[in-house]
Structure 1
């Protein structure tokens, strides 16, 4: 599944050196909204060893959490986060619509006043796609997926990630970006009918 046609109402947050999207320590922020595509992925707060994170459980479902925020990408080009997947999608295939499911995804959304021209970068924990590979989403070419992690080697382990979204955008779209207006999370299994569990934490924009 994908997030192609979102026109986002901006919300601006400012900090000296970073913008904390959510660390989930106070629960799920009210800034998140749900977008259902097919069925409902269950998102809940999970606490372990004194730390809270967001747990996602999907069974033949696809729904996303969307955080509306407008920010200057040149001022805050880096997106950092932690995630953990408990499994991948065994029949997932990044090249086919029927296989477009992932245990964990994070989107950066660049909306346009014509919804069909909305663009997104989609950081995925890939199933079989090689780590580091970039590929258009099989449903919508303006959503470009980047395999930040892949496969089962690190399942069950927390992984910290950092991406230069500005440079990623210029690399995959070949142009200067407009400012993003949303961050989104999605764990989805609607196309394959499988199940997946993932955890997300400490989603932060940085200078």
Structure 2
């Protein structure tokens, strides 16, 4: 048997190592993997918003032999959320892979009318009343009474940005309790699978300049209600792991 060239051997070894790391990440994850479920109700539930009647569509599909979630958004907004209750500690690793068909011409993370993304990962934290002012607490209580659900506090949004440079963190144009983190940007890599890994604790400290409270949810979301655009996104397994 003819031995493989050295560069092919090295590439194969790296591929096997990456596959092994992803398998370990999925196995130890605090979130149910898309590749293992038979229904989107297995560990996930709809995340919808007041006054938004057009919802994005999510479905399980096969992509190159692996089960993923396909999201379709057309002048719409909604997500899928996995509820958790996790003390972040010193480090909390969020890892996922995603693919998008396109970004939005009118998308702009700095403006309300441009606050849409073909794909985002929404990380919600427990509300800290001691950190909020009187009017913020009163507003939240009113919303909770009307909609019958306790609202989360601060949030990190990892976005496939339309024009915001990769690495930038800015406040959402609607609320400074949500910080937008650009992990991909523009048309580069559209149509390709991209793997992202973030330390939520480190990002929260940088975004809010304090330690994070309890993590209460991780969601996927594809939206286009502000720009009126459309896109398709695919989400592979999203894993949440506490390092040993």
TM category (shorter chain) comes to: 0.7 to 0.9
Q: Name the TM-score, length of structure 2 as normaliser.
A: 0.74
Contact in 1 for aligned 2:152/2:216 (Cα 8 Å): no
Instruction: Note the residue ranges of structure 1 that are not aligned, 5 or more in a row.
Output: 1-14
TM-score (norm 1): 0.87
Are positions 1:95 and 2:95 aligned together?
A: no
Cross-structure match for 1:11: none
Displacement of 1:148 after TM fit?
A: 0.4
Q: Give per-residue Cα distances to partners, 1:159-193, cap 9 Å, x unaligned.
A: 11100000000111011111101001110000010
- Comparing 69-78 with 181-190, greater Cα deviation is found at 69-78
Distance in 2 between the 1:45 and 1:156 partners?
Answer: 18
Q: Which one has a bigger Cα radius of gyration?
A: 2
Aligned counterpart for 1:192 among listed residues 210, 215, 227: 227
Distance, in Å, in 2 between the alignment partners of 1:145 and 1:139 is 11
Any idea what the Cα deviations from partners look like across 1:24-62, whole Å, max 9, x if unmatched? Answer: 332324321112232110000110221110000000000
2:30 maps to which residue?
19
1: CA distance between counterparts of 2:47 and 2:216?
15
How many residue pairs are counted as aligned between the two chains? 193
Is 1:31 matched with 2:43? yes
Contact conserved, 1:22 with 1:29, CA < 8 A, in 2? no
More strand per residue:
1
Q: What stretches of structure 2 of length at least 5 have no aligned partner?
A: 1-25, 130-136, 141-150
**What are the equivalent positions in structure 2 for 1:60-139 lying under 5 Å apart?**
60-74=75-89, 77-112=92-127, 114=137, 115=140, 118-139=153-174
Matched, 1:201 2:212: no
- Computed over aligned residues only, the root mean square deviation of the Cα atoms, in angstroms, reads 1.9
Higher helix share: 2
Q: Separation in 2 of the partners of 1:159 and 1:29? A: 25
Q: How far off its partner does 1:16 sit?
A: 8.5
The CA deviation string for residues 123-164 of structure 1, in whole angstroms up to 9 with x for no partner, is 000001111111100011110000000010100110111000
